[in-house]
Structure 1
Amino acid sequence: MTRRPLGQLEAEVLAALAGLGGTARTAELVERLAGKPAYTTVNTVLHRLHEKKLVTRTRTGRNYLYRLAVDESEFVAGRMHDHLRHASDPGDVLSRFVQTLSTDEAHRLREILNGPGDDD
């Protein structure tokens, strides 16, 4: 059985979990997420992420403590690469993406592309 790609809320839960140091309880994630989704909704998402082996969980009393099981940077980069691979014109997608970067993000991208030891 093939798994569907992550949904938007799944991605937001992973990002929130990473923002909390990689470990959190459901209630902490609910507070961190935009729009404050229902506790049960976040629990369902966490259950799915656990089934997909993207988070681990440890029972603490009546609740679970969730922990990232993947490196966030590597995971998000992989998702971006998947999107590019499915685009009919990856160059156009990259161009549009770069146009939406903030000044700080664009500067950081230039640093990465220049590589270590290269001058601007």
Structure 2
Amino acid sequence: MPRRQLGQLEAEVLAALAAADGFVTTARLRDRLSGDPAYTTVNTILFRLHDKGLVVRERSGRRFRYRLVVDESKLVAGRMRDQLRVASDPAGVLAQFVRTLNADETAALRELLDGP
């Protein structure tokens, strides 16, 4: 199986946490991720996200349960913005991004751009 790109698993963990209702254990979260990542890998990512202040945790027996405490859309948009800031050709990056959108995403983008 090919390895994920740098930060891809962290992004998947954040998305899975955002989709969860309340607190979730590492094992339950791992079951929601593609590619069968190692339990210890997911746990390491959760510890790092906790250190960054993106998740909170509570003890549940001998384990922790985690919950996202930031708005996922703001977090991802901020990351996208950071990438555009350092790109030598931001317009080219945006053009490439738009070419990868599916029909629903394109319609949502058009609605946002045409909105008030």
TM-score, normalization: structure 1?
Answer: 0.87
Q: How far, CA to CA, are the matches of 1:41 and 1:59 in structure 2?
A: 19
Q: Which amino acid aligns with 1:19?
A: A
Alignment pair present for 1:25 and 2:47: no
Question: How many aligned residue pairs are there?
Answer: 111
Q: Percent identity?
A: 65
Q: Which residue of 2 aligns with 1:110?
A: 110
Q: Which amino acid aligns with 1:23?
A: F
Q: CA RMSD in A?
A: 1.3
Q: How far, CA to CA, are the matches of 1:21 and 1:36 in structure 2?
A: 22
CA drift of 1:23 comes to: 3.0
Matching of residues 24-63 of structure 1 within 5 Å: 24-63=24-63
Q: Which residue of 2 aligns with 1:3?
A: none
SS of the residue corresponding to residue 113 of structure 1 reads helix
Q: Which residue of 2 aligns with 1:89?
A: 89
Q: How far, CA to CA, are the matches of 2:16 and 2:9 in structure 1?
A: 10
Q: Which residue of 2 aligns with 1:15?
A: 15
Q: Which amino acid aligns with 1:7?
A: G
Which of structure 1's runs of 4+ aligned residues deviate more than 6 A? none
The gaps in structure 2 that reach 5 residues or longer are 1-5
Q: Which amino acid aligns with 1:112?
A: L
CA drift of 1:22 comes to: 5.2
Residues 14-59 of structure 1: CA deviation (Å, up to 9, x unaligned):
1111122353110111101111111111111101111111110000
Q: Which residue of 1 aligns with 2:101?
A: 101
Q: Which amino acid aligns with 1:96?
A: Q
Q: How far, CA to CA, are the matches of 1:84 and 1:29 in structure 2?
A: 30
TM-score, normalization: structure 2?
Answer: 0.90
Q: How far, CA to CA, are the matches of 1:87 and 1:93 in structure 2?
A: 7
